[in-house]
Amino acid sequence: MLTITRSFQFCAGHRLYRPDWDQAKNLEVFGLCSNPAGHGHNYGLEVSVTGPLDQETGMIMNLRQLKEVVTQRVVADVDHKNLNVDVPWMRGIIPTTEQFAEQIWTRIASLLQQIAPQVILEEIVLHETPNNRVRKQRS
């Protein structure tokens, strides 16, 4: 079994807050990330899949297919968008990096299984900043 990884970049904004909390409580819990105007990030996303080597093609999966899945299911929806407002699959979810990674996983896994059943979604790493990232691995 081999694992390959494809990287993606996109920009998105968000605000971390709970509408049922007052501004003071949101500031206490989420700090400056609760700013009513929101803030943005230049995200990095790494998507890794594992599978057997196809002797005919020399690949476990065509990276073009992986790019199409992630672009269609994630990047096209979130690039230069507000995660709280513009992305239907993030509405009602506090868009922490952890929650965002969970939603990305779900969106990629569902389509990947259909178009490339020979591979397993192994891991995604979502970089919010150079210092902060979330890693989600298959269980």
Domains annotated on the chain, with CATH = 2-137 (3.30.479.10)
pLDDT of residue 126: 98
pLDDT of residue 79: 98
Low-confidence ranges of the chain (pLDDT < 70): none
The alpha helices in the chain, defined as continuous H runs, are 23-30, 63-70, 76-78, 97-115
CB 114 within 8 A of CB 139: no
First-to-last CA distance in the chain? 17
pLDDT of residue 139: 85
From residue 68, how far is each of 6, 39, 65, 110 by CA, in Å? Answer: 11, 28, 5, 14
> Mind telling me the catalytic residues?
33, 80, 128
Reported pTM: 0.94
- Cα(108)–Cα(85) distance, integer angstroms: 21
φ, ψ of residue 82 in degrees (nearest 5) = -95, 115
CA 132 to chain centre: 14
- Cα(118)–Cα(114) distance, integer angstroms: 10
pLDDT of residue 50: 97
pLDDT of residue 110: 87
